[in-house]
Amino acid sequence: MKSTEGKLIAVLRIRGEVGVRDPIKQAMNLMKLHRKNRVILLKNTQSNVGMINKVKDYCTFGEVDAELVKELLEKRGRLPGNKQLTAEYLKKKVKTDFESLSKALVEGKTSLKDIPGLKRYFKMHPPIGGFERGGVKHPFAAGGALGYRGKEMGKLIQKMI
């Protein structure tokens, strides 16, 4: 993966936790990827890229755009008590809306930590139509579902929302 600073990366856990070695399990816990079909958004920094490379055999990742981040926040953003993130909540607490927040996240001007109470991961459904035919144990470049998928990450997340 190219280390272009400032872009936002989505990381999706595909495989479960049976047979995962401890260093990989610790990296996934640091990224809040505790279960399958969870998505997190990370800034493209050198330390985050190192953690992503450590878990690449259990996750898939790629760049996302502002429209997809907006849709993730609107449909899958959660507050404590499993309450949905609303425009009224954003306007009241952060004085912004979904559109400007998603653009600021992609540009690296803000982070999900700046929204009080927002959970930093997104619970997703399994993809409609399933993963790629190569299965969940093979890399994306070889027809599977794991590893770096670049701009194709948006299509997978769309299938899971």
Three-state secondary structure string covering 84-137: ECCHHHHHHHCCCCHHHHHHHHHHCCCCHHHCCCCCCEEECCCCCCCCCCCCCC
Nearest-angstrom CA–CA distance, 60 and 80: 27
Q: Using pLDDT thresholds of 50, 70 and 90, give the confidence band for residue 6.
A: low
pLDDT at 148: 94
- Cβ-Cβ contacts under 8 Å for 27 (sequence gap 6 or more): 51, 54, 55
* CATH class, range 8-65+123-160: alpha beta
Q: Is the pLDDT confidence value at 23 over 90?
A: yes
Read off the pLDDT of each residue in 133-154 and give the average, rounded to a whole number.
89
Q: Using pLDDT thresholds of 50, 70 and 90, give the confidence band for residue 133.
A: confident
pLDDT digits (tens, 9 = 90+) for 89-112: 999 999 999 999 999 999 989 999
Q: Is the pLDDT confidence value at 120 over 60?
A: yes
pLDDT at 4: 52
Domain ranges of the chain: 8-65+123-160, 66-118
Q: Is pTM beyond 0.85 here?
A: yes
